[in-house]
Amino acid sequence: MTVESTAAHKPRRSAGGKAGATGTERTTRTTARKSAEPELVQLLTPEGKRVKNSRNAEYAKYAADVTPEELRGLYRDMVLTRRFDAEATALQRQGELGLWASLLGQEAAQIGSGRALRDDDYVFPTYREHGVAWCRGVDPANLLGMFRGVNNGGWDPNSNNFHLYTIVIGSQTLHATGYAMGVAKDGADSAVIAYFGDGASSQGDVAESFTFSAVYNAPVVFFCQNNQWAISEPTEKQTRVPLYQRAQGYGFPGVRVDGNDVLACLAVTKWALERARNGEGPTLVEAYTYRMGAHTTSDDPTKYRADEEREAWEAKDPILRLRRHLEASNHTDEGFFAELEAESEALGRRVREAVRAMPDPDHFAIFENVYADGHALVDEERAQFAAYQASFVDEDGGK
C-alpha cells in the first residue's frame, strides 16, 4: 500500500487578501505550488514521453498493457469530449442553454478514471463530469437537458450506472459511500466512484463520507479533481495540506496523480478500484489538474486569476500530451487525426441539433414524480392548475 510521503511537503501559506498581499506572500504561494508538483504520479510527461520512476512503479503496471488501439481510444475520447464541451459552451453563449459548467482542461482526469471503470461499477458525479458520462455511454445530449431547463436530470441512473449530476457540493460522496456499503452487503465485487472537487473537500459531507467509508470499509474510490479553483477561491482557501493527505487521517491511502496525464489517471484509478474490489476499502485519488475555463458560464476567471497561470497549464494540455506521445510512437497517421476531426464536427452538429430540438416539458410535469405513491395536496393542486389552464382555453373559444 502506498501513501505518498508527507515529509517532503510543507503546508502552504495563505496567499492573503488581494489588498494586503505583499510580494513576499506571493512568492511563498508560488513556491508552495511548485513544491507540490513533484509528488505527482506521472506516466507521461507534458512532452509526451513515458516516465518510469520509483513514485509511479506501483501504478505503472496498471497501464503497462495499454495497446496502441486503446491509446488512440483514449485520445479519441478526450478530443470528442472537448468538442462536446466547446459546443455546449457555444450553445450557452447563443442562449440555448441557461448555464454550462465546462470541463476544458480536465479531459484526462475524467477519461482516464472513466475508462478504468467496469460496466458494473457505479458512478456518482458532480455536475462537470461530462467526460465520465461519455465513458459510461450516456448520450451527451442528455446531459444538456438540465442546463437547458427542460428537466433536473434527464437520464436513468441505472441504465448506465451513472447517477444524476448533483449540484449541492459534496452531497453525492455520501450517496456513493452508502451505495458502496450496499455493494459490500450484497457480496458483489463491483466498486463505486465518487467525483468531487477541491472546493467540495471543505464540505462536511465529504469528511463524513471519508469517515463512513473507512469505518465500514466501503468499496468506494473518492476521485477529487483538484482543478485549483472553487469558482474564485483557490485551493489555498480550502486546505493547508495537500488534499490527498487528508486520507491518512481517516485511515486509507491517498495519492496525487497528474490529472493532465490520462495514462496515470487510468492506472491510479484502476489500482484504487482493485483495492476496493479486493475488500481493502476506500481510496482517495487527487487528480491534480486545472480548469482552463470559467467555473461556469456565469463567472469570469479573468477577475480572479492571472493569465500566466493559465498559460503555464496550457503547456501541460492533456490532449496535446497524448498526441505527442502517439506521434512519437508512430501509433497514428494523419488519416486518424483527420477522421477524428470529422467525427468531432459531426458530434458538435448532432448535439447542437439535439438541443435545439428539445421540446419544453409538458406543463403538468411540475406535478409529476413529486412522490412515488402520490400525495393528496399534489393531486389537489394539479387539479387547480388544470382548471386554471382550462379557463384560458375557454376564453379562447374552446381552442
Is residue 260 within 8 A of residue 289, CB to CB? The reply is yes
Closest CB to another protein among residues 179, 313: 179
Q: Which of 55, 291, 321, 325 is catalytic?
A: 291
Q: Under DSSP, is residue 370 helix (H, G, I), strand (E, B) or coil?
A: coil
Closest CA to 262 of 319, 306, 218, 343: 319
CA distances from 272 to 22, 231, 254, 361 (A): 41, 28, 9, 41
- Least distance in Å: CB of 162 to another protein? 12
- Least distance in Å: CB of 62 to another protein? 27
Q: Say which residues have a Cβ less than 8 Å from residue 136's Cβ, sequence separation at least 6.
A: 114, 117, 123, 160, 161, 162
Q: Give the DSSP H or E segment for 233.
A: strand 233-234
- Least distance in Å: CB of 178 to another protein? 2
Site for another protein (CB under 8 A): which residue of 25, 58, 189, 208?
A: 208
Q: Say which residues have a Cβ less than 8 Å from residue 173's Cβ, sequence separation at least 6.
A: 124, 194, 196, 200, 205, 206, 209, 222
- Least distance in Å: CB of 128 to another protein? 17
Regarding 371 and contact with another protein (CB under 8 A), the answer is yes
Q: How many residues bind another protein (CB under 8 A)?
A: 42
- Least distance in Å: CB of 110 to another protein? 22
Active site residue 295: yes
Beta-carbon count within 10 A of 33 CB: 16
CA distances from 176 to 61, 229, 265, 308, 395 (A): 27, 24, 20, 37, 52
Q: Which of 12, 148, 295, 325 is catalytic?
A: 295
Q: Binding string to another protein for residues 142 to 161, with x set by CB under 8 A, is what?
A: ---------xxxx-xxx---
The length of the chain is 399
Q: Which stretch binds another protein (CB under 8 A): 40-48, 58-66, 170-178, 348-356?
A: 170-178
Is residue 81 within 8 A of residue 103, CB to CB? The reply is yes
Active site residue 75: no
Site for another protein (CB under 8 A): which residue of 20, 204, 335, 398?
A: 204
Active site residue 26: no
Residue with cell 481510496: 283
Site for another protein (CB under 8 A): which residue of 181, 193, 272, 292?
A: 181
Q: Which stretch binds another protein (CB under 8 A): 2-10, 37-45, 222-230, 371-379?
A: 371-379
Catalytic annotation, residues:
291, 295, 304
Q: Which residues bind another protein (CB under 8 A)?
A: 151-154, 156-158, 163-164, 166, 168, 171, 173-183, 185-186, 204-205, 208-209, 211-212, 215, 368-373, 375-378
